[in-house]
Every structure is written in structure tokens, then in C-alpha cells.
């Protein structure tokens, strides 16, 4: 199975001109086995042949490999620690100040909106109104379209409190619309975290980020790609800035001195100022 799966990933890489070989082999094997079962095929080899014949299948498989699931405040403890203990320290105290955040691999924007809500809640307690910009990036254009539309089904709102629901959402049909104030903080743009030619979204070239959230993406990569993407995230994070990772993701050993865990739990890290260990 392993060799055929490697062929399939190399085929997708060539087909789309994007790197599919950096996703972990075990994830790919699992997803392809699921698809073989769904289609009632005899095995992976038959699926490999079908991929070449059926023009819709490569896009279907790519979507299965780039798992889309997300929700608001997906790790409630992590977001609560960010809101109550950290966010005020990231927001500049001077009126002309700037906060730049990046939600990398943002899916339909649930995470970027969660950050926007926390920032707004913190600003309500402060006298200054610094400029806030949240870059939300993903490789999937249709995910970005969902983010720009700002419309969410009730199933994605599990971590939202009733007060937040009343303040930041408007009911609309079977779902909810995020408030224009939050939506206007966010710039959605396509960025492939595995693209070897870029290290951060081009729209962000004017500076680093004070806050980066890259959650539930690194866990799907092979170890080399994990390190390569992590290097880029580290480079894009300003000294003193904060990084949020998913529960199943860790800081590689080479960064242990430079990214300090802020609390025992919550997977939040602060980048040390230059010169400090």
C-alpha cells in the first residue's frame, strides 16, 4: 500500500502544482483507504487508476487530505487564557499602535473570528483604539470564500458564550452571520504553508506578527515539513509575540529556548526578545 500511496501523492503534486508529498504518509493511507471503501473498489491500485480517469477525483481527494473541520473557540481553555491573561499585553497602549495577527490554515474563518472577538472584548476594557489587522490564510479558495461570507451554522458555534452570540452574531435562516465589525478586522487571502518560495502571506510583507495561530495543521505533516513550516512561523512572529498551537502539536526542540510556554496548559508560547534565553 505504501508505495502506491506515495505514487498517488506524487500524482496530486504534479496535477495541482502544489505539495501533497509533505502530508504524513499515515494520514494519506487512512484517507485513501476510506475513499477506496466508499467507492467499493478492490484496493489502492484500482483507486490510483481511477484518479487518472475521473477528472473530479483529484479535487475530491485533495479536499479529504486537507481536512477542513473547524469551529469557534475550538480549544476553550486556550482561547480563554488568551482572552483573560494575554491579549491586553499584546495590544499597544498608544493610540497610533498596531496589532497584527495571523490565523494560518484558517479553514472557513472560525478561528480568525474567535481571535477578532477576543481582541474586541479586550479593547472594550481599554482607553485606546489601536489598529487591528488579522490575516486569515488557507490553501483552499472555497474555505476563504466561506470566511469572507461570514455565515456559520449553529454546529460550529459550540465554544461561543450566550453573551458573545448576542453581541457578535445575527441569526439568519439556519445559521448566524458574524458582525461586520469583526469581519472588517480580517483580511482573507490564499497562502500555501507548504510553498517553498514564501514564508508568510504576501499581504503581510510590511512586518511581522504579534500573534500567530496555527492550529491543527502541523499535526498532519511529515516531520521534515513540520520543521520547515515551523521555521517560517517562527520567523514571522515578532519578538514578544504569542503563538497558538493545536493540542496535538508541539514546539520542536530547536526552539525550546526561544519559544517559552506561557502556562502549563493551553499550548500558548511567547517568543523571547532577542538576547534573552
Ligand X SMILES: C[S@@+](CC[C@H](N)C(=O)[O-])C[C@H]1O[C@@H](n2cnc3c(N)ncnc32)[C@H](O)[C@@H]1O
Is the distance from CB of 259 to CB of 247 less than 8 angstroms?
no
Which window, 27-35, 40-48, 120-128, 136-144, contacts ligand X (CB under 6 A)? 136-144
- 215 is a site residue for ligand X (CB under 6 A): yes
Site for ligand X in 82-111 (CB under 6 A): 105-107, 111
User: Toward ligand X, which CB reaches closer, 107 or 211?
Assistant: 107
CA distance 119 to 126: 11
Q: Shortest Cβ distance from residue 24 to ligand X (Å)? A: 12
Site for ligand X in 154-183 (CB under 6 A): none
Q: Shortest Cβ distance from residue 70 to ligand X (Å)? A: 3
Q: Please provide residue 175's backbone torsions phi and psi, each rounded to the nearest 5 degrees.
A: -140, -155
Half-sphere exposure of 36 (CA within 13 A, CB side): 19
User: Toward ligand X, which CB reaches closer, 217 or 230?
Assistant: 217
Is the distance from CB of 241 to CB of 208 less than 8 angstroms?
yes
Is the distance from CB of 66 to CB of 139 less than 8 angstroms?
yes
- 217 is a site residue for ligand X (CB under 6 A): yes
Site for ligand X in 50-79 (CB under 6 A): 66-70, 74
User: Toward ligand X, which CB reaches closer, 74 or 271?
Assistant: 74
Beta pairing partners, 173: none
User: Toward ligand X, which CB reaches closer, 98 or 247?
Assistant: 247
Give whole-number Cα distances, 6 to 26, 64, 69, 193, 232, in Å: 11, 16, 25, 20, 26
- 31 is a site residue for ligand X (CB under 6 A): no
Give whole-number Cα distances, 72 to 118, 165, 220, in Å: 11, 11, 20
Per the rule left: phi > 0, alpha: psi between -120 and 50, beta: everything else, 127 is alpha
Which window, 151-159, 192-200, 253-261, 269-277, contacts ligand X (CB under 6 A)? 192-200
CA distance 179 to 241: 27
CA distance 163 to 143: 27
Which window, 81-89, 133-141, 175-183, 255-263, contacts ligand X (CB under 6 A)? 133-141
- 267 is a site residue for ligand X (CB under 6 A): no
Among 194, 218, 236, 268, contact with ligand X (rule: CB under 6 A) = 194
Q: Shortest Cβ distance from residue 65 to ligand X (Å)? A: 8
Among 140, 157, 236, 242, contact with ligand X (rule: CB under 6 A) = 140
- 192 is a site residue for ligand X (CB under 6 A): yes
- Residues of this chain that bind ligand X (CB under 6 A): 66-70, 74, 105-107, 111, 138-140, 143, 192-194, 215-217, 246
Amino acid at each position: 500500500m505504501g508505495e502506491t500511496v506515495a505514487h498517488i501523492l506524487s500524482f496530486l503534486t504534479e496535477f495541482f502544482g502544489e505539495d501533497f508529498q509533505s502530508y504524513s504518509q499515515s494520514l494519506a493511507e487512512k484517507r485513501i483507504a476510506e475513499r477506496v471503501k466508499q467507492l467499493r473498489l478492490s484496493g489502492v491500485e484500482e483507486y490510483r487508476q481511477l484518479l487518472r480517469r475521473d477528472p473530479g477525483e483529484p479535487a475530491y481527494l485533495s479536499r479529504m487530505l486537507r481536512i477542513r473541520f473547524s469551529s469557534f473557540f475550538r480549544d476553550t481553555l486556550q482561547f480563554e487564557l488568551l482572552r483573560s491573561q494575554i491579549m491586553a499585553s499584546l495590544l499597544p497602549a498608544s493610540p497610533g499602535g498596531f496589532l497584527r495577527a495571523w490565523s494560518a490554515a484558517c479553514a472557513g474563518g472560525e478561528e480568525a473570528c474567535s481571535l477578532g472577538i477576543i481582541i474586541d472584548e479586550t479593547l472594550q476594557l481599554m482607553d485606546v483604539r489601536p489598529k487591528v489587522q488579522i490575516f486569515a490564510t488557507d490553501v483552499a479558495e472555497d474555505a476563504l470564500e466561506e470566511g469572507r461570507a461570514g455565515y456559520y451554522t449553529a454546529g460550529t458555534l459550540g465554544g461561543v458564550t450566550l453573551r458573545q452570540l448576542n453581541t457578535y452574531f445575527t441569526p439568519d435562516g439556519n445559521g448566524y452571520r458574524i458582525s461586520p465589525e469583526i469581519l472588517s478586522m480580517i483580511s482573507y487571502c490564499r497562502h500555501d504553508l507548504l510553498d517553498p518560495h514564501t514564508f508568510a502571506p504576501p499581504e503581510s510583507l510590511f512586518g511581522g506578527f504579534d500573534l500567530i495561530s496555527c492550529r491543527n495543521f502541523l499535526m498532519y505533516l511529515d516531520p521534515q515539513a513540520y520543521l520547515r513550516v515551523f521555521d517560517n512561523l517562527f520567523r514571522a512572529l515578532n519578538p514578544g509575540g504569542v503563538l497558538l498551537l493545536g493540542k496535538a502539536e508541539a514546539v520542536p526542540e530547536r526552539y525550546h529556548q526561544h519559544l517559552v510556554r506561557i502556562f502549563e496548559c493551553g499550548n500558548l508560547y511567547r517568543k523571547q526578545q532577542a538576547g534573552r534565553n
